[in-house]
Structure 1
Amino acid sequence: MTAKSPHAPIEELVSVRDWLRYAVTSMTRAGLSYGHGTTNAVDEAAYLILATLDLPIDDINPWLDCRLTLAERESIDAVIAKRIETRKPAAYITNSAYIQGHKFYVDERVIVPRSFIGELLVQDQLAAIVPDPLAVQRVLDLCTGSGCLAILAAEAFPNARVDASDISADALAVAKRNIDAYGLDKRVRLFKADLFEGLPAATYDLIISNPPYVTAEAVAAFPPEYQAEPTLAHLGGEDGMDLVRKILDGAPDRLSPAGSLIVEIGAGQDALEASRPGLPFLWLDSETSQGEVFALLANDLK
């Protein structure tokens, strides 16, 4: 059953603080699920309010005591009601998602960006395996979705040309919009491809991928927020590692001799290591993840 949004007493809620409290209460009572940029009702409500008011999304505190016009209150009420009634992720309602301060356009054609690889690219340019970012000449982003990782890679490795691919034509349309918005259309090329099949003949200094890695059982149990995303972007087979293993099989022919492979796999570490016991996986932990992103060198794969 779809949760019903209570009618907001617009005349009584006059400040940002009032609307934050109201939104948190309403969203909590509706039993919403989170995980698309926020993890709780307070942060999600703050994001929706700030985005609706075109304010910086990093901190609501400076604005809490600001009074709102009637039109602003009506807009916030509509957004909160839409979040509750549709159970769509907030990013689809605002058509925007953020990774490390970088804003990307998103809609229902792509999964909401939330990759830990993006965090690593921005924070240290994958320093654990890429000692000299300026030496990286060619990068491949498999399963690019919204194009966010291709864009962050282009920024992290300023001398590199980036190829980005996806099996979904809809996703590639969204990726093009983001690449154009960042002015990277001359450095980032898009390809419709099934992993490596359909790509031009080339080898890469770095291959990155945030592929579908959710188990079939988990996908079947998704709450509405996750069901709103393309199933194709989540489903990774019985143990979640079907596409990851295909990437491992195809990567050796696509990596330069000193190249590296970086893949995000969610909670699949045990399943992957059990299926490929001979590979020396290096796990790249970040501030918000542990054991969810691995690295392998070209020599490791051969």
Structure 2
Amino acid sequence: MSRSIPNILKDCENRLAKVDSPRLSAQLLTAHALGCSRLTVTLERNRILSDCEIEAIHALVARREAGEPVAYILGEKEFYGLDFFVTPDVLIPRPETEHIVEEVERLYPKDRVFRFADLGTGSGILAVTLCVLFPGARGVAVDISPAALHVAQRNAHRHGVDDRIDFQCLDFTKEAPGGEFDLIVSNPPYVTAAEFNAASHEVTTFEPTGALVSGVDGMDHIRAMLPGIESTLKAKGHLLMEIGFSQGEDVKKIICREFSLFGQVAILKDLAGHDRVVVASKL
């Protein structure tokens, strides 16, 4: 076989035929192994690769063949136009979570000064992105996992906002972070046990179960965290929380029935038309 990049890419794509986006995966993994951009890989059609380069590419492809997500192999993932470090200690950022950031941008002008809490920060994508977008934002980012917090801290440092985020290791279903907040954001575990059991091999084998599953109906964490949210959210403050694709009405009923200090409660849909973000305003 020719050692040219196009031929190596084709071979990798064939090997990855059973995974999602085999061509894209082949390009990203090849670029990572060669230490160049995906664009460079697609343009350098006459470059002949060395044995060491081919071996490095094949090692990465073997990991992808086994089902390991590309983001974990590369060690990073893009979110809202920013690159974030990711490890198997944190969930891989997903585009659905960007709806939370979009809604904050709709609610607040860029020069707004506010204090926020990010409950279950994981890799820190919400806390870091908010601080990048809003120079006047300061916040607390909490997670029960010390390993996840380490990743989040690395991301805050990467984007130059680590001086505006206080990272705390605590169980937000049992203890609320100290102080009061203008804004609380969260992407808590909300997957049902049945949904997790039916999920892909990539999810069930490689992503942290504790950051995904929340009891039989997927709402154990949501129920447990709402009292702390109500007590720490300032008057006129906003809660933006990601939820499961069919949980909107149930979450809305819980908030309206059990938490009288919340006024308007709305459910935002994602691009597929599914329930995705609950937006609640405190009276």
In 2 relative to 1, CA 172–14 (structure 1 residues): closer, same or farther, beyond 3 Å? Answer: same
- Alignment map for 1:118-137 (pairs within 5 Å): 118=98, 121=101, 124=102, 126-128=104-106, 130-137=107-114
- 1:284 aligned to which of 249, 268, 271: 268
- Residue by residue over 1:130-180, the C-alpha shift from the partner in whole angstroms, topping out at 9 and shown as x without a partner, is 132422420111100111111001112210111100011111121122222
User: If each structure's strand is expressed as a fraction of its own residues, which one has the higher value?
Assistant: 2
The one-letter code sitting in structure 2 at the alignment partner of 1:219 is F
- 1:165 aligned to which of 125, 142, 147: 142
Q: Secondary structure at the match of 1:266?
A: coil
- Alignment map for 1:193-212 (pairs within 5 Å): 193-195=170-172, 197-212=174-189
- 2:230 aligned to which of 242, 246, 252: 252
- Alignment map for 1:23-62 (pairs within 5 Å): 23-28=12-17, 31-32=18-19, 34=20, 40-57=21-38, 62=42
- Alignment map for 1:182-193 (pairs within 5 Å): 182-193=159-170
Deviation at 1:274, TM superposition (A): 7.2
1:269 aligns with 2:247: yes
Aligned to 1:155: 132
Alignment coverage as a number of residue pairs: 275
- Alignment map for 1:92-131 (pairs within 5 Å): 92-118=72-98, 121=101, 124=102, 126-128=104-106, 130-131=107-108
Q: What is the rounded CA distance, in whole Å, between the counterparts of 1:271 and 1:233 in structure 2?
A: 22
Check conservation: 1:141, 1:163, Cα contact below 8 A. yes
1:297 aligns with 2:281: yes
User: If each structure's helix is expressed as a fraction of its own residues, which one has the higher value?
Assistant: 2
Aligned to 2:119: 142
CA-atom RMSD in angstroms: 2.6
Deviation at 1:78, TM superposition (A): 1.6
The one-letter code sitting in structure 2 at the alignment partner of 1:89 is P
Q: Secondary structure at the match of 2:118?
A: strand
Aligned to 2:63: 82
Q: Name stretches of at least 5 consecutive residues in structure 1 with no aligned partner.
A: 1-10, 35-39
Check conservation: 1:285, 1:293, Cα contact below 8 A. yes
Q: What is the rounded CA distance, in whole Å, between the counterparts of 1:244 and 1:160 in structure 2?
A: 25
Percent sequence identity is 31
Q: What is the rounded CA distance, in whole Å, between the counterparts of 2:40 and 2:214 in structure 1?
A: 37
Q: Name stretches of at least 5 consecutive residues in structure 2 with no aligned partner.
A: 258-263
Q: Secondary structure at the match of 2:25?
A: helix
TM-score, with normalisation over the residues of structure 1? 0.80
Q: Secondary structure at the match of 1:24?
A: helix
